[in-house]
Amino acid sequence: MTNRTAFITGASRGIGRACALALAEAGYRVAVAARNAKLLDELAAEIRAAGHEAYAVTINMADAASIKETFAKTAKEFGPVSILVNNAGITRDGLALRMKKEDWDEVIGTNLTGSFLAIQQVLQHMLRDRWGRIINISSVVGEMGNPGQANYVASKAGIIGLTKAIAQEMGSRNITVNAVAPGFIETDMTQGLSQELKDNMIGHVALKRIGRAEDVAAAVRFLASEEAGYITGHVLNVNGGLYM
């Protein structure tokens, strides 16, 4: 058991929710953050029912003031954050030729800038503690590209660059910074896809199946652990062999 606090953004569903459950199971106290208070409260109740500590807090990753306030509130009421999982992300798909600037700004602002601002909020404590784990959720498309997602792909590729830069800045203080790049995972984001599109995607996956949120959470749980203490600046692909 540990008394370390893990903070997960975008925790109300999908990969973020699975990460929160996995980290709670691993013995961390988990702060779950997203926009949907009802879903967060349900998740926190589920974690507590399993005998673990949880704290639900709303956050708007597109708003710098909200990010600052939420982390300050969490540190005060639940404890300083030792493990940050930057998972929150949105899509506003469209071909580059017709993409509106606000769709570009919104995705970069939430996915990339939001992740950076969240990292800034936790570094002070990690530096003092000389221990920290920052795990940024990127995407397979950040490595291989994807048509119709210039904004999302740029944000996820940016997260990889951000991961490597902060890993170099923080390495001497025993703070590891890594990225997890999920492939085709069964979540609300992929549920709306047609069966034809899903079958086509699965055709490109070496393991011939869609991944589960739990597959990604297992990678996050490992990178948060003591066992992963000599891994930093790394991108861990959880994509079933979609991209190698």
- Exactly one of 28, 55, 152, 243 is catalytic; name it: 152
| C-alpha 172: how far from chain center | 24
pLDDT attached to residue 85: 99
pLDDT attached to residue 193: 81
210 Cβ partners below 8 Å, 6+ apart?
Answer: 184, 185, 186, 190, 198, 201, 202, 240
pLDDT attached to residue 3: 87
Give residue limits of the domains in the chain.
5-238
Q: Which DSSP string corresponds to 66-104?
A: HHHHHHHHHHHHT--EEEEEE-------B-GGG--HHHH
Model pLDDT for residues 30-56, shown as the tens digit of each residue: 999 999 999 999 999 999 999 999 999
**Among this protein's residues, is 230 annotated catalytic?**
no
pLDDT tens by residue, the chain, 244 residues: 568 999 999 999 999 999 999 999 999 999 999 999 999 999 999 999 999 999 999 999 999 999 999 999 999 999 999 999 999 999 999 999 999 999 999 999 999 999 999 999 999 999 999 999 999 999 999 999 999 999 999 999 999 999 999 999 999 999 999 999 999 999 887 887 889 988 998 999 999 999 999 999 999 999 999 999 999 999 999 999 999 9
The H or E element that residue 57 is part of is strand 54-58
pLDDT attached to residue 191: 81
pTM assigned to the model:
0.97
What topology does CATH give the domain 5-238? Rossmann fold (3.40.50)
